[in-house]
Amino acid sequence: MAITSEGLGRHPAPETDPMQPVPFRVLRRKRETHDTFSLVLKPPSAPGPFSFAPGQFNMVNVFGMGEVPISMSGHSGEVREIVHTIRVVGPVTQTLNRVRAGGTVGIRGPFGTAWPVGAAEGHDVVMVAGGIGLAPIRPAIYHVLDHREKYGKVAILYGARTPQDILFLREIESWRARFDVEVEVTVDRASRDWHGLVGVVPGLIPRAHFDPGNTVAFVCGPEMMITFAVRELARSGVPAQETYVALERNMKCAIGLCGHCQLGPLFLCKDGPVLRYDQVVDLLRIREL
């Protein structure tokens, strides 16, 4: 089964002016790791309920400073709260890290394509995430687990840099406690007091249990990790046509106008971030892109 681009759940552009940030109130801030936090935001009641599909992103704006593209990391659909999980890497994210409950941030979105969770029904699903890449894939995990009966075997494979960098640790433990999903976590390096797996996340793929001829794979993380993970999936028998990746570039306008996020003929803000791997594999091999 090759899912067509329609299966990527592309949502219509926001009804409001897509370039106009809308103020969202900060309900909660949660520290996730030493450099990563989540903001829980309340959308305004007008112009209507906020709705997004797993894998889509918002432009999160600190008024007067700038904005950054951040994927939604909470439950998808029509929601009363949205969650953004953010790693502190620059001035905007540093400022967002200081926002507290009651504060306001600007939001434009949702934008981009989504994980094809609907088209993957009836198939085994392997979700591979590395580092902060667990956040954009978490809405897809929620969807699959909430509709567990519609899928075959489900595997969640996650890799982090060290044990201290593991995101959503308690939630991962709760997924692992289920009997209907395979969850494996590995870290790139660890001292002796870590009793879990050590190694890179693509190395978990050969150990996972799925039928490669009936599997859809979602991969999210640093591009180099994606490359290795897709290679390992292919070795296991999952073709590129059944493998979906989330790619990032320098998203600015988020509506496919400015070209900052261009990858060859694609605008990743509009044509991505979720793309079928066979549609981008040749582009990713071109260094200049």
Please tell me whether residue 224 binds other proteins under the rule CB under 8 A.
yes
The token duo for 48 is 């209507």
Please tell me whether residue 63 binds other proteins under the rule CB under 8 A.
no
Applying CB under 8 A, among 225, 238, 253, 261 the residue interacting with other proteins is 225
CA–CA gap between residue 85 and residue 132 (Å, rounded) = 8
In the complex with other proteins, which residue's Cβ is closer, 118 or 163? 163
Query: Of 226-285, which residues contact other proteins (CB under 8 A)?
Result: 228
Please tell me whether residue 199 binds other proteins under the rule CB under 8 A.
yes
The answer, yes or no, to whether the previous bond of 47 is cis (omega within 30 of 0) is yes
CA–CA gap between residue 200 and residue 186 (Å, rounded) = 7
Q: How far is the CB of 266 from other proteins (least distance, A)?
A: 22
Q: How far is the CB of 187 from other proteins (least distance, A)?
A: 9
**How many residues touch other proteins (CB under 8 A)?**
29
Please tell me whether residue 157 binds other proteins under the rule CB under 8 A.
no
CA–CA gap between residue 164 and residue 203 (Å, rounded) = 20
Q: Cα–Cα distances in Å, from 56 out to 40, 52, 73, 98, 178?
A: 16, 7, 9, 24, 27
Candidate segments 156-164, 169-177, 248-256, 265-273, binder of other proteins by CB under 8 A: 156-164
Candidate segments 45-53, 118-126, 181-189, 271-279, binder of other proteins by CB under 8 A: 181-189
Query: 134 and 83 in contact (C-beta within 8 Å)?
Result: no
Identify the three-state secondary structure at position 270. coil
Q: How far is the CB of 274 from other proteins (least distance, A)?
A: 20
Please tell me whether residue 197 binds other proteins under the rule CB under 8 A.
yes
Q: Count Cβ neighbours within 10 Å for each residue of 111-140 and write b for 16 or more, e otherwise.
A: bbbbbbbebbeebbbbbbbbbbbbbbbbbb
Please tell me whether residue 89 binds other proteins under the rule CB under 8 A.
yes
Q: How far is the CB of 117 from other proteins (least distance, A)?
A: 25
CA–CA gap between residue 253 and residue 260 (Å, rounded) = 8
Q: How far is the CB of 225 from other proteins (least distance, A)?
A: 5
CA-closest candidate to residue 50, choices 20, 11, 85: 11
In the complex with other proteins, which residue's Cβ is closer, 216 or 225? 225
Q: How far is the CB of 230 from other proteins (least distance, A)?
A: 13
As to burial, measured by CB atoms within 10 angstroms (0-12 exposed, 13-18 middle, 19+ buried), residue 206 is: exposed
Query: Of 103-142, which residues contact other proteins (CB under 8 A)?
Result: 130-132
| Residue ranges that bind other proteins, judged by CB under 8 A | 89, 130-132, 159-161, 165, 186, 188-192, 194-200, 202-203, 207, 221-222, 224-225, 228
